[in-house]
Copies of this chain bind each other. A is one copy, B any other.
Amino acid sequence: MRRDVNLRVAGIAGSLRVDSYNRALLAACVELAPTALTIEPFDLREVPLYDRDLEDEGFPEAVTALRSAIATADGLLIVTPETNAGLPAVTKNAVDWASRRPVPTPLDGKPALVMGATPGRLGTALAQAQLRGSLAHAGAIVLPRPQVFISAAGEKLVDGVLVDDETRERVAAALAAFAAFVVRLGPEGSP
């Protein structure tokens, strides 16, 4: 990768909980990103549940901010929990708002990286599968691999810090692969 590359990636965590594992994982991503890539977290707390009537009145302020954060970034990182063997409402809500017109939507052609952490054993595999499907449907281009499934999150994310060395290496490798992916895809709108 060229040394002068400076990529900006919008990062969102699909949890509102202050001490959430996935907020902590997003913070770890900020730290573990390669030099060429800067992750800028966006907090979903003020984003309301999707409501077409609300949309018809104009995007709420937090939705406009979310859409702008994604649209102006070179890529999108989504870090998601898993609930009931699926994608949590908070994560899906952000994707749905970002997918709305006018075109090009913030997700059209946007390089995306997904990962997730859970206290359970599946490592958010089912949530990520659903998330990949919805992102692709909305036109985002999701890095196929490496996939990052973090199980037993309570042992690896302690007091908001990703302490597990092997997991740190996996996260760093995924972020490096994503940086190369974004560079390979080139600027949006290019043929």
The interface of chain A, by Cβ under 8 A from chain B, is 15-18, 20, 48-54, 83-90, 92-93, 95-96, 99, 126, 130, 133-138
- CA–CA, A49 to B90, complex, Å? 7
For A50, give its contact among B48, B90, B99, B130 (CB under 8 Å): B90
- CA–CA, A48 to B47, complex, Å? 11
Expressed in whole angstroms, the minimum distance between the Cβ of A79 and any Cβ of chain B is 16
Q: B50 and A83: CB pair below 8 A?
A: yes
This chain's copy number in the assembly: 2
For A96, give its contact among B48, B50, B83 (CB under 8 Å): B83
* Nearest 4 A/B pairs, CB to CB: A89-B93, A84-B134, A16-B51, A85-B137
A134 proximity list for chain B (CB < 8 A): 83-86
- CA–CA, A130 to B137, complex, Å? 15
Q: Given contacts A16-B49, A53-B17, A53-B18, are A87 and B92 in contact (CB under 8 A)?
A: yes
Q: B17 and A51: CB pair below 8 A?
A: yes
Please name the residue on chain B nearest to A126 by beta carbon. Answer: B133
Please name the residue on chain B nearest to A16 by beta carbon. Answer: B51
A99 proximity list for chain B (CB < 8 A): 83-84
